């Protein structure tokens, strides 16, 4: 009798049982897509619905990519190992939104594939987006258990590319912005926070509330500097003016403060849920899209 194959339903755990955590995650990643689809169907997305969809799907691709990268830090900071089971779903959702983003761009160009290709080749922000998308496709393609087993240690090297891919996605976000870069600065600030945690971890710094507090402060400062540098280089606005805007609370709160707010949740969560970390016991989880159990061990 042929072996029975089960569909890899996203809400089931590896033993085939319903996982409430995975089901919740699945519904959450699906929700923006459904919301946008109903907005389109009800003609509620403004005068240029396809453009609105291009923007929204691009934003969700970035958010979900960062959420994927946040899984490893959060599982340690909150001492919540089961979080790793969400990483592949989050990564594949980022890929799905990014692919929808490209398809919508093709629709926007009246399905003229030659024009799409030439625009991607000629406009630097589209070239950057294309490289990021190609990288995401490579990670998604190799995220099956079979690919992980076949690739062995090369899988680790490939999936470490998730960080530069996220950086390219963020650069694409900056480059396509006209004047106001508040949103890309905020998401890049969160990326800085994640990279900072990775650096701390690599240097074997302990995951403790005080170290996470320093990480939050440093990331917020770097976010403010990044914002000042971008406006300075792009529009010649003096850095002092942009930095000063961070202390002016009569207008919109600058992204560095939002990054600080998110960053401060980390020491709080760690104080409430974390436990004194045993320094690197067991194999280190690889970056990328896949649950730890499916991964090959390093030789």
55 and 26 Cβ atoms separated by less than 8 Å: no
Closest CA to 108 of 100, 283, 259, 274: 100
Residues that bind ligand HEM (CB under 6 A): 54-55, 58-59, 61-62, 65, 98, 101-102, 105, 120, 126, 129-130, 132-133, 136, 169, 172-173, 176
Nearer to ligand HEM, 31 or 241 (CB): 31
246 and 176 Cβ atoms separated by less than 8 Å: no
Least distance in angstroms from the C-beta of 287 to ligand HEM: 16
Least distance in angstroms from the C-beta of 133 to ligand HEM: 4
Nearer to ligand HEM, 58 or 255 (CB): 58
Least distance in angstroms from the C-beta of 154 to ligand HEM: 23
Note the helical H segments in the chain: 20-41, 49-77, 87-108, 113-122, 124-141, 145-151, 153-159, 162-176, 182-202, 209-235, 239-245, 255-273
Q: How far apart are the C-alpha atoms of 15 and 136, rounded to whole Å?
A: 28
237 and 168 Cβ atoms separated by less than 8 Å: no
Least distance in angstroms from the C-beta of 32 to ligand HEM: 13
Nearer to ligand HEM, 128 or 216 (CB): 128
CA 75 to each of CA 39, 66, 234, 277: distance values in angstroms, whole numbers, following the listed order: 35, 14, 38, 12
Least distance in angstroms from the C-beta of 83 to ligand HEM: 22
Closest CA to 21 of 86, 114, 75, 69: 86
189 and 62 Cβ atoms separated by less than 8 Å: no
The residues pairing with 12 across neighbouring beta strands, listed in sequence order, are 18
Q: How far apart are the C-alpha atoms of 111 and 103, rounded to whole Å?
A: 9
Nearer to ligand HEM, 169 or 274 (CB): 169
Least distance in angstroms from the C-beta of 274 to ligand HEM: 30
| Spatial CB neighbours of 120, under 8 Å, sequence gap ≥ 6 | 126, 127, 129, 130
Q: How far apart are the C-alpha atoms of 104 and 107, rounded to whole Å?
A: 5
Please identify which residue in the block is written with the tokens 């403010």. Answer: 224
58 and 94 Cβ atoms separated by less than 8 Å: no
Nearer to ligand HEM, 111 or 204 (CB): 111
Least distance in angstroms from the C-beta of 14 to ligand HEM: 28
Cα 187 from chain centre: 9
Least distance in angstroms from the C-beta of 187 to ligand HEM: 8
Nearer to ligand HEM, 121 or 272 (CB): 121
Task: Find the residue with minimal CB distance to ligand HEM.
Answer: 58
Nearer to ligand HEM, 133 or 260 (CB): 133
Nearer to ligand HEM, 130 or 257 (CB): 130
């Amino acid at each position: 009798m042929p072996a029975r194959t089960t569909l890899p339903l996203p809400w089931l755990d590896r033993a085939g049982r319903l996982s409430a955590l995975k089901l919740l995650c699945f519904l959450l990643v699906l929700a923006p897509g459904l919301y946008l689809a109903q907005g389109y169907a009800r003609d509620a997305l403004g005068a240029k619905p396809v453009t609105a969809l291009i923007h929204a799907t691009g934003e969700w691709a970035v958010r979900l990519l960062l959420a994927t990268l946040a899984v490893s830090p959060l599982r340690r900071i909150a001492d919540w190992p089961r979080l790793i089971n969400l990483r592949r779903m989050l990564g594949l959702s980022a890929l799905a939104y990014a692919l929808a983003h490209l398809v919508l761009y093709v629709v926007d160009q009246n399905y003229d594939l030659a024009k799409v290709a030439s625009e991607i080749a000629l406009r630097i922000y589209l070239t950057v987006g294309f490289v990021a998308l190609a990288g995401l496709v490579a990670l998604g393609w190799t995220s099956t258990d079979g690919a992980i087993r076949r690739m062995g240690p090369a899988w680790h090297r490939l999936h470490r590319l998730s960080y530069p891919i996220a950086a390219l996605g963020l650069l694409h976000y900056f480059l396509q912005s006209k004047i106001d870069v508040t949103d890309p600065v905020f998401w890049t600030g969160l990326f800085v926070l994640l990279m900072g945690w990775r650096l701390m971890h690599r240097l074997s710094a302990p995951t403790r509330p005080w170290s996470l507090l320093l990480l939050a402060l440093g990331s917020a400062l770097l976010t403010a500097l990044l914002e000042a540098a971008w406006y300075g280089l792009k529009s010649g606005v003096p850095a002092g003016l942009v930095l000063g805007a961070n202390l002016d609370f009569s207008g919109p709160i600058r992204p560095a403060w939002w990054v600080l707010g998110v960053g401060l949740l980390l020491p709080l969560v760690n104080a409430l849920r974390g436990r004194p970390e045993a320094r690197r016991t067991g194999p280190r989880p690889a970056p990328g899209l896949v649950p730890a159990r499916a991964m090959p061990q390093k030789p």
